[in-house]
A and B are shown apart, each in its own frame.
Chain A
Amino acid sequence: MSFMNTTAKNFRVETLDVEDIEKIRQDFPALSLNIHGKPLVYLDNGASAQKPLAVLEAMDRFSRESYANVHRGVYQLSEQATTAFEEARKKVQHFINARESREILFVKGTTEGINLVAQTFGRQNVKSGDEILISAMEHHSNIVPWQMLCEEKGAQLRVIPMNSTGELEMDKFEKLLSSKTKLVAITHISNALGTINPIETIIQKAHAKGIPVLIDGAQAVPHMTVDVQKLDCDFYVFSGHKLFGPTGIGVLYGKAKHLEAMPPYQGGGDMISSVSFEKTTYNHIPYKFEAGTPHIVGAVGLGAAIDYMQQIGLDRIASYEQELLEYATEQISQIKKVQLIGTAKKKSAILSFTLDEVHPHDVATILDQEGIAVRAGHHCAQPVMEFFKVPATARASFAFYNTKEEIDLLIKGIKKVLEIFK
C-alpha cells in the first residue's frame, strides 16, 4: 500500500496523495452512499466521523468470536474478552503516549469524561469563592458541567476572552490565573471555529501557579498527534465516534496521582474490591471509575480505529488536512457573499461560515439536495455565536478521506444557494 511507503520521508513533508486517498475512501462504506441521487460529500466530521471497515469488522468479529463480560469469568471466553478490552486500553495509552494504561479510563464520550472530572475532582477540590477558568470558545459540554459545579459550591466560572479572529487573548488569560483558580478547562481545538489553542503555553502558565489543566480533545485527536506526557496536561478527554470509532465510547486520561486521590464517580460492580453492608473498599484505578459492564465492543472498535489511523500516520493526516484547509479557505474566500467565522492563524480543517442574507439552515438544506452534508446551527457553542453576533453558522468540517474535488462541489453548492436566493 502506498501509504505505508516511508522512503519519501527524507525529502518532503509527508502527506497523503491522490492514490492514498482513493484507497482510504474504499475503506469507508458510507462514502459510497448516494444522497438525493448524488454521491455523498460528507463534511460533518466535526460532529461525527464515518467508520472504516477495519472498525466495523473488528467489532463484528469480536462480538461473534470473543464476546463475554470482562473482569469476571474464569472461563476462556471471558478471559479473551478481558484481554481484548485491556488491549484496547493499551492502544489508547500508546496513541496519546500516556505513561501507564491505568491512566486511561473508558467513558461514554467527551461529555461524560468532563462530567466525571467535575463531579469527582471538582467536588473534592473546589470550594466556595474558588474559580474555574474556561474559554470563550468552549463547547457546551465544557461549560455546563463547570457551571453546575460552581452553583453547587458557590464558586465562580471565569472565561478567557477571544479576539475577532477566534484566538484566545493570552495576556488576559495570564491575568485571570490566580490563587482562587482551581482548574483550567479548555478546548484543544474549537469545534465551531477550528482554532487550535496554544495549550502547551496554557498548561505551562497554569502549572507555574500550581493549577491543574483539563483539555477537551474531542476535535484534536482525529486530526493530529497528541502526546499527553509532552503536554503535561492533568486530564485529556475525547470521544471514539469522532475518531472513526463507534459511538458510546470515549476516553478520559488523567494523571495517576489525580485519579488515585479522586473519589469514585458512580458506584456499582467492577469499581469495588470488596463490599459488605458496612463498608465498601474501592478498586484501584482505572476500575474505580468504571462501574458496571463497560462498552466492551465499543472499546474494541476504538482500538481498531486507532490502529487504522496509526497505519496511515497521524502526521500525514495532519499535513494532508492542512492542504485541504488551505484549498478550501482559498476557494471559499473568492465568493464575495461568504463570511468566514474563525480565521485564527493556527486552524484545524473546519470552515464555519455565513452567507449574506441566507440563513445557515437554508444553506444546509440546499447543499443536502446536492448530497453535501454540512452542519448548520450553533454547534453547541452558543456563546461563540453570540460573540460573533450570528444566530448560527454553516460548518464544513473535514477528515482525511475528503478531497479537493469535494471542496469544489461544496463551492458549487454554495454558488447554487446564492443563485436560489438571488
Chain B
Amino acid sequence: MSNLRDLYQEVILDHTKHPRNKGILASANRHADGFNPLCGDKVQIFVDVENGIVKDIRFDGSGCAISTASASMLTEHLKGKSEKEVGVLFERFHNLVTGEKKLSDDTPDLGKLIVFEGVREFPMRVKCATLSWHTLMAALKNEKKEVTTED
C-alpha cells in the first residue's frame, strides 16, 4: 500500500483530475504526437520556442493517471526553460523514474517532478511517465514522425 501511495501521490492525482495547459497551442512552432501502442495512451505536445527558450507549452491527448499527470506537470515545469535545460531535465527525469542512475545535485532541478520517483517501483508504468517527455524531445527536434514507446 505504501508503494501505491508513492505512485499515486496527491499532486499526481490532482494533475490527473485537473490537467494544466491542456489543449492545442495556436502559437506553437514545434509539435509532435506520441503513442503507446500497448495501452493506447496518446499525447500531443505543442511548444512555442523563441530564441532557444520554451516560451509556451501545452499538451493534449488521453491516457492513464501517470501519463496525464506527467504531461501536465511537464508543461508547468518547463515554461521559460532553455532547450538545453530541457534536454538535461529529460535525462534527470528518466533517471528518476527508472532508478538507473543516482541523481547529482546539479541545476536545473526537477522541482515538483520529483513526485514521480514512486514510478521506479512499477517498471511496467515507466513508459506512462516518459511518453510525454519523449514526445516533447521529438517536438523540439521537429521530428514529424509519431513517437512510440515501442521503438
Q: Which residues on A sit within 8 Å (CB–CB) of B66? A: 361-362
CB of A145, distance to nearest CB on chain B (Å): 19
CB of B14, distance to nearest CB on chain A (Å): 11
Are B64 and A369 in contact (CB-based, < 8 A)?
no
Contacting A391 at CB < 8 Å: which of B7, B17, B41?
A: B41
Are A392 and B40 in contact (CB-based, < 8 A)?
yes
| Also in contact, A365 and B40, with CB within 8 A (given A358-B65, A391-B62, A421-B13) | no
Residue A171 interfacial (CB < 8 Å): no
Are A361 and B8 in contact (CB-based, < 8 A)?
no
Q: Mark A381-412, 1 if CB is under 8 A from B, else 0.
A: 01001000001100000000000000000000
Enumerate B30-80 residues with CB–CB distance to A below 8 Å. Answer: 38-42, 62-66, 68
Q: Which residues on A sit within 8 Å (CB–CB) of B41? A: 361, 391
Q: Which residues on A sit within 8 Å (CB–CB) of B17? A: 357
CB of A69, distance to nearest CB on chain B (Å): 37
Number of interface residues of A (CB under 8 A): 19
Residue A376 interfacial (CB < 8 Å): yes
Residue B26 interfacial (CB < 8 Å): no
Residue A1 interfacial (CB < 8 Å): no
CB of B117, distance to nearest CB on chain A (Å): 16
Residue A21 interfacial (CB < 8 Å): no
Residue of A at shortest CB range from B65?
A362
Are A377 and B4 in contact (CB-based, < 8 A)?
no
| Also in contact, A378 and B40, with CB within 8 A (given A362-B64, A362-B66, A421-B13) | yes
Residue B3 interfacial (CB < 8 Å): yes
Residue A153 interfacial (CB < 8 Å): no
How far apart are the CA atoms of A378 and B62 in the complex, in Å?
14
> How many CB-defined contacts (below 8 Å) exist between A and B?
52
Are A361 and B13 in contact (CB-based, < 8 A)?
no
Residue of B at shortest CB range from A421?
B13
Are B4 and A385 in contact (CB-based, < 8 A)?
no
Are B39 and A392 in contact (CB-based, < 8 A)?
yes
Contacting B39 at CB < 8 Å: which of A369, A377, A421?
A: A377
Are B3 and A359 in contact (CB-based, < 8 A)?
no
Contacting A421 at CB < 8 Å: which of B3, B65, B122, B124?
A: B65
Are B4 and A369 in contact (CB-based, < 8 A)?
yes
Q: Which residues on B sit within 8 Å (CB–CB) of A359? A: 63-65, 68
Q: Which residues on A sit within 8 Å (CB–CB) of B7? A: 365
Residue from A366, A385, A391 with most neighbouring chain B CB atoms (10 Å): A391
Q: Which residues on B sit within 8 Å (CB–CB) of A420? A: 4, 8, 13
Q: Mark A343-376, 1 if CB is under 8 A from B, else 0.
A: 0000000000000011111100110010000001
Are A365 and B39 in contact (CB-based, < 8 A)?
no
Residue B89 interfacial (CB < 8 Å): no
Q: Which residues on A sit within 8 Å (CB–CB) of B81? A: none
Number of interface residues of B (CB under 8 A): 23
CB of A373, distance to nearest CB on chain B (Å): 12
Q: Which residues on B sit within 8 Å (CB–CB) of A378? A: 39-40
Enumerate B101-143 residues with CB–CB distance to A below 8 Å. Answer: 122, 124-125, 128
How far apart are the CA atoms of A385 and B40 in the complex, in Å?
10
Are B122 and A365 in contact (CB-based, < 8 A)?
yes
Residue of B at shortest CB range from A378?
B40
| Also in contact, A361 and B125, with CB within 8 A (given A378-B40, A392-B39, A421-B13) | yes
Residue from B1, B38, B40 with most neighbouring chain A CB atoms (10 Å): B40
Q: Which residues on A sit within 8 Å (CB–CB) of B13? A: 420-421
How far apart are the CA atoms of A376 and B125 in the complex, in Å?
12
Enumerate A268-297 residues with CB–CB distance to B below 8 Å. Answer: none
Q: Which residues on B sit within 8 Å (CB–CB) of A376? A: 39
How far apart are the CA atoms of A93 and B135 in the complex, in Å?
52
Residue of B at shortest CB range from A390?
B40
CB of A287, distance to nearest CB on chain B (Å): 38
Residue of A at shortest CB range from B63?
A359
How far apart are the CA atoms of A392 and B42 in the complex, in Å?
12
Q: Which residues on B sit within 8 Å (CB–CB) of A385? A: 40
Enumerate A25-68 residues with CB–CB distance to B below 8 Å. Answer: 36
| Also in contact, A365 and B38, with CB within 8 A (given A391-B62, A420-B4, A421-B13) | no
How far apart are the CA atoms of A232 and B132 in the complex, in Å?
51
Residue of A at shortest CB range from B16?
A421
How far apart are the CA atoms of A393 and B94 in the complex, in Å?
28
Are B125 and A377 in contact (CB-based, < 8 A)?
no
How far apart are the CA atoms of A369 and B3 in the complex, in Å?
9
Are B4 and A366 in contact (CB-based, < 8 A)?
yes
Are A377 and B62 in contact (CB-based, < 8 A)?
no
Q: Mark A85-98, 1 if CB is under 8 A from B, else 0.
A: 00000000000000
Are B64 and A361 in contact (CB-based, < 8 A)?
yes
Q: Which residues on A sit within 8 Å (CB–CB) of B63? A: 359, 391
Are A377 and B65 in contact (CB-based, < 8 A)?
no
CB of A417, distance to nearest CB on chain B (Å): 10
Q: Mark A73-90, 1 if CB is under 8 A from B, else 0.
A: 000000000000000000
User: In the complex, given contacts A378-B39, A391-B62, A420-B13, what are 5 additional A-B residue pairs having Cβ atoms less than 8 angstroms apart?
Assistant: A362-B64, A365-B4, A365-B122, A369-B4, A378-B40
Task: Provide a sorted-by-A list of 7 A–B residue pairs whose CB atoms are within 8 angstroms.
Answer: A36-B3, A361-B41, A361-B64, A369-B3, A376-B39, A377-B40, A421-B16
